[in-house]
Amino acid sequence: MDETLTVEPFGFFTLDSLRAGWYLVWRQLVRVVPLAVVSALAGAGLGRLGFPVLGLLICALGVLAAVVWAIVLVPQLASQWAESYHGYPLTGRARVWWAISWRSMVASAVAAVVLTPPTMVGASLSIAFPGSALGGLGKLIMGLLSLVNAAAAILTTGWAMSKVASMQLTGLPMTTLPFERVGGPVEPVAVSAGHHEQVTAETGHEMHEMPATPLAMAPAAPIAVAPAVTAPVAVAPAPVIVAPAPSPARPAPVAVAAPALAHAPAEGKRQCPKCGLHETERGTVIGWYCTICGWRESRR
């Protein structure tokens, strides 16, 4: 029976949303920020050399290129994340960019509305009390709110990516990765979404998953096995053990049958008619009786 993927979107305030958003944000920043910085430095250098218009033009073009590149990177990086996490890439770059962008803009607007009062308090303290403890407190509040805004933007991006993946990938067949069994043929093993490791039933060793993409496994090359060469082996004859002859000084014992014991008649005693022994006694009252079997002479 074919199994299908069931992709659930992440919760907003979860570590999964934070990880997914950070996956996209830092890969985007390491590409876009250097381009913007280099263009700004080049424009400033041309301005100091006496070409302010050219420097301003280069700076503006560099910033514009960085913004366009950041927009292009959003669907590309989101598709890479979905492929590495769920096994399928996202399709439709324009739809992916719009689905992530409008959710990020709405969440950023809500965060701005919520954080506006404390931001105004921090700005007022820093302006009204410059160089004092209250002014330092206002600057600290504004710095903390900047970090909160950045964290909210990352969470929003990761949550939006999970929503897009849930809409596009739910219902697709589960991907399979072929793993080579020990001592057997290659067997496809089902890989569920979001799992990162599995244990084979044959060996019990832990196996880490690769990105769940349909991979074409090259057939294993045949291994040439040299025929076994049997060499003649010399076998020594088994030693013959000779039993020593019996010594003439000690002749072998001869079994002699013991003679049957005969019941010798006791002198002066009467033979018992019951057991045939002469172990009888004569009493003054009861007469003859046997001490062995208890026979008694009857008197009438």
Q: Which of 190, 105, 207, 102 is nearest to 152 (CA)?
A: 105
Q: What is the pLDDT of residue 257?
A: 44
pLDDT digits (tens, 9 = 90+) for 39-98: 999 999 999 998 999 999 999 999 999 999 999 999 999 999 999 998 899 999 999 999
Percent of the chain with pLDDT over 70: 67
Per-residue pLDDT, averaged over 175-188, amounts to 42
Question: In this model, does residue 291 exceed pLDDT 50?
Answer: yes
Task: Return the pLDDT at 120.
Answer: 93
pLDDT at position 41 is: 94
> Is residue 160 scored above 90 in pLDDT?
yes
**Which H or E run contains 84?**
helix 52-86
pLDDT surpassing 50 at residue 229? no
Tokens (6 digits) for 248: 């003439």
- For residue 46, give both structure tokens: 């041309």
Average pLDDT rounded to a whole number, residues 116-130: 90
In whole angstroms, give the CA distance from residue 119 to residue 121: 5
189 touches 177 (CB < 8 A) = yes
SS3 194: coil
Q: Is the pTM of this model over 0.75?
A: no
Q: Predicted confidence band at 294 (pLDDT cuts at 50, 70, 90)? A: confident
Query: What is the predicted pLDDT for the residue at 273?
Result: 82
pLDDT, one tens digit per residue, over 166-180 is 999 988 887 654 433
Q: What is the pLDDT of residue 266?
A: 55
Give the Cα separation of 175 and 216 in Å (integer): 13
Q: Is the pLDDT of residue 190 over 70?
A: no
> Is 232 a residue whose pLDDT tops 80?
no
Q: Which residue has the higher pLDDT, 99 or 277?
A: 99
pLDDT tens digit sequence for 45-56: 999 998 999 999
pLDDT at site 272:
84
Mean pLDDT of the chain: 76
With 90 as the cut, is the pLDDT of residue 225 above it?
Answer: no
C-beta of residue 2 within 8 angstroms of C-beta of residue 44:
no
* 296 C-beta neighbours (distance < 10 Å), count: 13
What residues contact 95, with CB distance under 8 A and at least 6 apart? none
